[in-house]
């Protein structure tokens, strides 16, 4: 089954991190992701640009609005994601524990839905 690891970071915590330590954490994260990709456990991963560069689009009652930045008012912002293949939620949670970013935010582990089944259900 596929799981999406949504990486949220707290900019205040990352800003306090010495550059050398950040670089070490990032190198290790990339090394581990590359190794898991070679094993077929990581299907893809990407870092996102800062939340300040985002736009939030919403349509309510036929009226569209576009807002600067993310919608949520929180210290932790979505910073990246990793799509993995795991046998269970427990295995996916263990994969999240291996990422250094849990020290500077959190990682949400979410099962990926079956889009083929949804296509069939809605006749698309």
> pLDDT for 73-111, tens place per residue?
677 889 999 999 999 999 999 999 999 999 999 999 999
d(CA 124, CA 105): 38
At 60, the pLDDT band (50, 70, 90 cuts) reads: very high
- Structural domains counted in the chain: 1
Its domain, for residue 35, covers: 2-122
Asked if pLDDT for residue 61 goes beyond 80, the answer is yes
d(CA 108, CA 28): 20
CA 80, 26, 106, 4 torsion-angle sign:
positive
Whole-prediction pTM: 0.85
Cβ 75 vs Cβ 10: under 8 Å: yes
CATH code at position 65? 3.30.70.1060
Q: Which of 56-65, 66-75, 91-100 has the lowest mean pLDDT?
A: 66-75
- For 7-57, the pLDDT digits (tens) are 999 989 999 999 999 999 999 999 999 999 999 999 999 999 988 888 888
Q: What pLDDT, on a 0 to 100 scale, did the predictor assign at position 70?
A: 66
Asked if pLDDT for residue 72 goes beyond 70, the answer is no
Q: Which parts of the chain fold into alpha helices (H)?
A: 11-15, 19-38, 89-97, 115-122
Q: What pLDDT, on a 0 to 100 scale, did the predictor assign at position 56?
A: 84
Q: What pLDDT, on a 0 to 100 scale, did the predictor assign at position 71?
A: 63
d(CA 4, CA 107): 10
């Amino acid at each position: 089954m596929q799981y999406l690891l949504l990486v949220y970071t707290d900019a205040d915590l990352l800003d306090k991190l010495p550059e050398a330590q950040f670089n070490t954490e990032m190198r290790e994260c990339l090394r581990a992701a590359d190794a898991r990709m070679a094993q077929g456990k990581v299907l893809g991963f990407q870092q996102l640009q800062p939340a300040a560069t985002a736009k939030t689009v919403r349509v309510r009652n036929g009226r569209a609005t576009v807002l600067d930045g993310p919608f949520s008012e929180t210290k932790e912002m979505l910073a990246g994601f990793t799509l993995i293949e795991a046998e269970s939620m427990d295995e996916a949670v263990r994969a999240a524990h291996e990422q250094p970013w849990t020290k500077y935010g959190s990682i949400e582990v979410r099962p990926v839905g079956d889009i083929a089944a949804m296509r069939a259900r809605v006749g698309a």
